[in-house]
Amino acid sequence: METMRRIVLASRPEAAPGPENFRLETAPLPSPGEGEVLVRVRWLSLDPYMRGRMSAGPSYAAPVEIGQTMGGQGVGEVIASRAPELSEGDLVLGGVGWADHACLPAGELRRLDPALPPTTALGVLGMPGFTGWVGLTEHGRPRPGETLVVAAATGPVGSMVGQLARAQGLRAIGIAGGAEKCRIATETFGFDACLDHRAHEDARSLRKALAAEAPDGVDIYFENVGGKVLEAVLPLMADFGRIPLCGAIAWYSGDAGHPDRLPALWRAILVKRLTVRGFIVTDHWDRLGDFLREVAPKVAAGEIGYLEDVADGLETAPAAFLAMLEGGNTGKTLVRVS
């Protein structure tokens, strides 16, 4: 019998995840039923939200069960079809999971435009890029002349936010981990400035450096990190500032810092009449077409840039994922499966 490989959740992490929480398995190759297709996975996306699905606590997405394939989106080629809308050879995007093959209903897959690199459907034109666009557009409500701050500035979300903000006449300040990433933020993605959070021992030091770059305050803070960066930015928010909130990777494995700080900073939301809007990108899928119509031509023309951090082989997915959670990636984290 033909087989496939997959990576399953071997155990739930109690704090920061490690290699022991994953297991590479061999399983029988599935056969598509009526309305289904069999996909050979070419590219797999690794994203921070997957850390939350490794835990059993309540969240906006169901947890991965022990022994179940780790979930995630990927791009692959249809190699067998029992659905009239998809044919062998079609390149598709869908929730294939951490595996080299997947059998899925055709209705859960989207055929890709062969004129664009397939990996763009997982990054700059996929869920991360869309997250940046919808968060800034709908919840940031940018206006020319304002100041925006976004952390993880060279990642697929942060780089999209910064480039869109600059194109709309805002001052875009990035925060990233390391001098090289800060260089990339300014030289590749066009940020007006970028601060290295690793060069600052604490939030107070980072706040002082940020205040020098944003003397009139921060109008929009696109929040995707939490931790020290949030502590640094919140007191610098301008009156009636907006904070789109899509993630808090610094706290995904528990609060290893000082949990008493945030309540004291929380008063800034009241005093400065801030708007904090948590959002889940899946609540906005009705806007995906608008995003692609606006941004895809800019990506094709080179007006919006992107970087990809590629690991080779399905077996490398756990290590690449763990490195990403620690900020070890530069750009969108992908696994070239086959």
Q: For position 246, which CATH number holds? A: 3.40.50.720
Q: Which amino acid is at 157?
A: V
51 and 187 share one domain: no
| Nearest residue to 96 (alpha-carbon basis) of 228, 222, 188, 5 | 5
User: How does pLDDT run across 189-240, given as a tens digit for each residue?
Assistant: 999 999 999 999 999 999 999 999 999 999 999 998 878 899 899 999 999 9
Residue 251 forms part of a structural domain: yes
Inter-residue contact 156 to 123 (CB < 8 Å) = yes
pLDDT of residue 267: 79
User: How does pLDDT run across 251-282, given as a tens digit for each residue?
Assistant: 655 554 444 555 567 778 888 999 999 999 99
Give the number of other CB atoms < 10 A from CB of residue 292. Answer: 17
pLDDT band at 327 (very low <50, low <70, confident <90, very high): confident
Q: Which domain holds residue 69?
A: 3-123+307-336
Share of the chain above pLDDT 70, in %: 95
Inter-residue contact 29 to 3 (CB < 8 Å) = yes
DSSP labels, 176-210 = ESSHHHHHHHHHTS--SEEEEGGG-SSHHHHHHHH
35 and 16 share one domain: yes
Residue 94 forms part of a structural domain: yes
> What span, in angstroms and rounded, lies between the C-alpha atoms of 201 and 223?
20
| Nearest residue to 66 (alpha-carbon basis) of 6, 8, 7 | 8
> What span, in angstroms and rounded, lies between the C-alpha atoms of 174 and 234?
15
**How far is the CA of 147 from the CAs of 42, 136, 158, 168, 235, in angstroms?**
40, 13, 15, 11, 15
pLDDT band at 61 (very low <50, low <70, confident <90, very high): confident
Q: What is the mean pLDDT of residues 2-24?
A: 95
> What span, in angstroms and rounded, lies between the C-alpha atoms of 202 and 305?
31
172 and 270 share one domain: yes
Residue 104 forms part of a structural domain: yes
11 and 80 share one domain: yes
Residue 165 forms part of a structural domain: yes
323 and 276 share one domain: no
Q: Which two tokens stand for residue 84?
A: 């009239």
Q: What is the mean pLDDT of residues 129-156?
A: 97
> What span, in angstroms and rounded, lies between the C-alpha atoms of 101 and 70?
13
User: How does pLDDT run across 31-51, given as a tens digit for each residue?
Assistant: 999 999 999 999 999 998 899
110 and 139 share one domain: no
38 and 77 share one domain: yes
Range scoring the smallest mean pLDDT among 5-19, 55-69, 220-234: 55-69
Q: pTM for the full model?
A: 0.90
The residues that bridge with 204 in the sheet, in sequence order, are: none
pLDDT of residue 255: 53
Q: Which of these three, 244, 264, 281, is where a domain ends? A: 281
116 and 131 share one domain: no
User: How does pLDDT run across 87-140, given as a tens digit for each residue?
Assistant: 999 999 999 999 999 999 999 999 998 888 999 999 999 999 999 999 999 999
Supply the mean pLDDT for the chain.
93
149 and 220 share one domain: yes
Q: Which of these three, 243, 264, 281, is where a domain ends? A: 281
Q: Is the pLDDT of residue 158 over 80?
A: yes
Inter-residue contact 171 to 148 (CB < 8 Å) = yes
Q: Is the pLDDT of residue 305 over 50?
A: yes
Instruction: For residue 185, report the phi and psi dihedrals to the nearest 5 degrees.
Output: -60, -40
211 and 239 share one domain: yes
pLDDT of residue 256: 46
Q: For position 35, which CATH number holds? A: 3.90.180.10
65 and 140 share one domain: no
Inter-residue contact 127 to 47 (CB < 8 Å) = yes
Show the beta-strand stretches assigned E in the chain.
Answer: 3-9, 22-28, 36-45, 74-81, 91-94, 101-105, 110-111, 147-151, 171-176, 193-196, 218-222, 237-245, 275-278, 308-312, 332-336
- Top pLDDT among 326 and 7 is at 7
Residue 148 forms part of a structural domain: yes
